[in-house]
Amino acid sequence: MRILKTAAELKAFRRELPGEVGFVPTMGALHAAHASLLRRARNENDHVILSIFVNPTQFNNPDDLKNYPKTWDSDLAIAHAEGVDAIFAPTDPNEMYPDGYRYGIVEKEFSKELCGEFRPGHFDGMLTVVMKLLNLVWAERAYFGEKDYQQLSLIRGMVDAFFFHTEIVACPTLREKDGLAMSSRNLRLTADEREKAPYLHRALTTIADASKVRTALEENGFKVEYVVDREGRRFAAAWLGNVRLIDNVEKEARK
Ligand code: AMP
């Protein structure tokens, strides 16, 4: 397994690869859901490239960036076990921004809603780095989780708008046994918060009315940003202590 640190190394590595490439972009602190994306990429392509890059331009909150979990040794072990060919992990954030972020992707509608309303600039930063990564990796397929459904939908929109070569593959949300969507940020929950956290998914799937979901979450110690029903899905973001949790479910999953 190769570890690539610069854009130039990644481009050179990619040029020499025969066959089809599956790409899984992440911010590290890998868990079973990331492993499931890697496994799918492995099954559907000749080669798998994983990126681990905590992208500063998508963090609107400096503390969130500073506290983002880093688990390099365990990330390496997971990548190795899933048969990854190369990890692109730039050590210097400037590696992805030789222009100092003068140039970027702008989406003018959906990126302002839901999470975008509470995280200004987040989706433009995310789209910009995904675009750069797609250009560098030039994969046949790139794999994204439905857990970040708004992100997935905006990436699909960008890929269509700019005629990207890469096919975007959506992967279902993986959950802990108690229903909590797996997330790197779950590592930052206290024991008490971890116990409360699965209620987010339970409330989304068992309460019919979105405004009642909000009240129920607030009564259970969550600080709610939004609960919104939109195009057959229900989306929510809420804080437990210092940790922001997001989730979404399909209408059919609701009782
Ligand atoms: P991140 O956790 O932000 O590094 O996300 C890297 C990729 O993994 C994104 O495409 C996420 O949507 C995906 N992902 C993260 N958590 C989950 C999950 N619980 N289920 C499915 N995909 C996930």
Q: Which of 88, 123, 171 to mutate to test the pocket of ligand 1 (most atoms within 8 A of CB)?
A: 171
Residue-level pLDDT at 252: 73
pLDDT (0 to 100) of residue 226: 98
34 lines ligand 1 (CB under 6 A): yes
Report residues of the chain scoring pLDDT below 70: 253-255
Phi, psi dihedrals of residue 114, rounded to the nearest 5°: 45, -120
Both tokens of 239, joined, read 């804080």
**Ligand 1: centre distance to CA 151 (Å):** 10
Tokens 């570890």 sit on residue: 3
Q: Please, are residues 185 and 69 in contact by the beta-carbon 8 Å criterion?
A: yes
Retrieve residue 196's tokens.
């409360």
Q: Let me know if 122 is a catalytic residue.
A: no
Task: Give the contacts of 42 (CB within 8 A, at least 6 positions apart).
Answer: 22, 48, 82, 83, 84
Question: Which atom of ligand 1 is nearest to 182's Cα?
Answer: 19
